[in-house]
Amino acid sequence: METGNGLKLTAEEQERIKSAVRRAEQQTNAEIVPMIVARSGLYRDAQHWAGLVVALLVLTILLTLETLWLPWGWHASNAAWLVLAIVLAYAIGNGLGTLGPVIHLFTSTERMRHKVRLRAERGFAQHAISQTRERTGVLIMLSILERQIYVLPDRPLAQQVPMERWSQIVRAAVERLKTHDIAGGLCEGIEQCGRLLAEICPVRPGDNPDELPNEIIQER
């Protein structure tokens, strides 16, 4: 799988996920929508902190080695070069702050969870997942940058099922994701979700319309 700007699953992976959704929905009247996004937040504060740390580091190094670059004493031109060096260091650090590992370094897991939840709620609304006949839609969203999966059921389903049951679906998917099998992790989550939904809203023979597309939604 490519996880750069294209964020593109292979045709085989897309079909694998689509088939998992189809199989899961054969057991229930609910609708499962898989979604994968590159990131759930911009984390501009991580860029700021990375820039600040690099700038302070460069300033410390320059002042520590002052005797090497100020052999003839302090002059206004030296101050100008020092300021320029700090500004450039901040810009470099700010750029580094857009990288995943750096974002993780400066961002708490709790904040990332919050961003993932907000992105899932936005996706749920944008893709009209609540617009099913009995309001039985479920979004399973994987956010690549945050390395998190979020399961968001429509309100009637959320009221019927304890949070722990939804958490079990996430844990099952995460176990597969640890092996770097993105499609496999989503398929595992879809399969587990299908079993749970079969208990709550089992399929009714002759009355199981496919109200939402089975294809995975991919967004940057």
Residue appearing with tokens 């904040």: 111
Angle at 22 between CA 183 and CA 33, to 5 degrees: 65
Is residue 107 within 8 Å of 46, Cβ to Cβ? yes
Give this prediction's pTM: 0.84
The segment with the largest mean pLDDT, out of 26-30, 79-83, 113-117, is: 113-117
Closest CA to 12 of 182, 195, 194: 182
In this prediction, residues 82-90 reach a mean pLDDT of 92
End-to-end CA distance of the chain: 14
Map out the domains of the chain as residue ranges. Answer: 11-41+108-219, 44-106
At the second CATH level, the architecture of 11-41+108-219 is: Roll (3.10)
Which range, of 100-104, 165-169, 171-175, 202-206, averages the lowest pLDDT?
A: 202-206
pLDDT band for position 6 (50/70/90)? very low
